[in-house]
Amino acid sequence: MDITDSQKLQKEVVKLKEQKKIIGLVPTMGALHHGHLTLVDFAFQYCDYVIVSIFVNPTQFNNAGDLKNYPKNHQSDYDLLMSNNPNTIVFSPSVEGIYGNQVQAEEFDFGSIVQYMEGQFRSGHFNGVGTILKHLFDIVKPHKAFFGEKDYQQLALVKKLVQITGQDVEVIGCPTSRTASGLAESSRNFRLTEKQLDEAALIHLSLQKAKAAFHAEKDIQEIKTIVKSLFDASQGLDLEYFEIAAADDLVPVTQIKSDNSYRGFMAAFSGDVRLIDNIAF
């Protein structure tokens, strides 16, 4: 089922809820890949029906070229979802259907979780993410919503958004889906050549080496030096940032405390394609 109209979708959701069905939501921007299907399959472990929204959200792009170049192929996305599980409902609204005549992000106070890493390098991005998710939760009213841990800051943001807005939805994170080389699955990977895909495996490899150094009790600066040297030796990748942050508030740290949990976060460019990843330390 492919629905573009919000009111039609809401009627379908009401009907399913009257039948005591559990409704899940997987928000996407399309250009679906194996990682998305993993997330949808994960959602079906909790839900009877999963609504997959396909909407390239203009308010979360701080780079007009990135928005323009974002890959789009709705028919193949729809076919992939239907062949994967016929209980999937595709929701593909227009920009006007979401924003009306005013395509503008709301302002949210997400605190420290959006101040660093992606928040530093993508101005306005997280307000755009919060805005579209608030709209989607209001339209769909799912019981549960599912997000991949590849965008860990986003996952933390969604949990905070639900606190701020009081929307009645349970937010559930799904482990990052990876290729055989360890590269995190991403729609942006479609823009990479075979050579670039091979080179991009360094992102996960360097995070793993950083984690090993972390557990060997190297200090933060020494770990950052190790990561930087790996990228300096790379021909095809440019490191934008690498940080070790506390898992609860996502504030980068300079010293490790034994009673805290941490994650390593990274962004790098392969040509003009920006790739992100993170792992638990």
Question: pLDDT tens across 120-173, in order?
Answer: 998 889 999 999 999 999 999 999 999 999 999 999 999 999 999 999 999 999
Q: According to CATH, where is 3.30.1300.10 located in the chain?
A: 187-280
Q: Residue 17: what pLDDT? A: 97
Average pLDDT of the segment spanning 172-185:
95
Q: How far apart, in whole angstroms, are the C-alpha atoms of residue 181 and residue 160?
A: 33
Q: Provide the CATH number for the domain formed by 2-174 in this structure.
A: 3.40.50.620
**In this predicted structure, what is the pLDDT of residue 167?**
96
Range name among 38-42, 59-63, 182-186 with the lowest pLDDT average: 59-63
Q: What is the mean pLDDT of the chain?
A: 95
**CA distance from start to end of the chain:** 41
Most distant pair of Cα atoms in the chain: their distance = 59
- Please identify, in words, the CATH class of the domain defined by 187-280: alpha beta
pLDDT at 64: 78
173 forms bridges with which residues in the sheet? Answer: 147
pLDDT band for position 31 (cuts 50, 70, 90): confident
Residue 206 has pLDDT above 80, yes or no: yes
* Catalytic residue (one of 33, 34, 36, 135): 36
d(CA 132, CA 43): 20
Confidence class of residue 62 from pLDDT cuts 50, 70 and 90?
Answer: confident
List of residues 6+ apart from 11 with CB closer than 8 A: none
34 catalytic? Reply is no
Are 84 and 24 a contacting pair, CB within 8 Å? no
pLDDT higher than 90, residue 65: no
- Report the residue count for the chain: 281
Least trusted range by pLDDT, from 52-66, 101-115, 140-154, 195-209: 52-66
- pLDDT band (50, 70, 90) for residue 69: confident
Closest alpha carbon to 252 in 111, 115, 110? 115
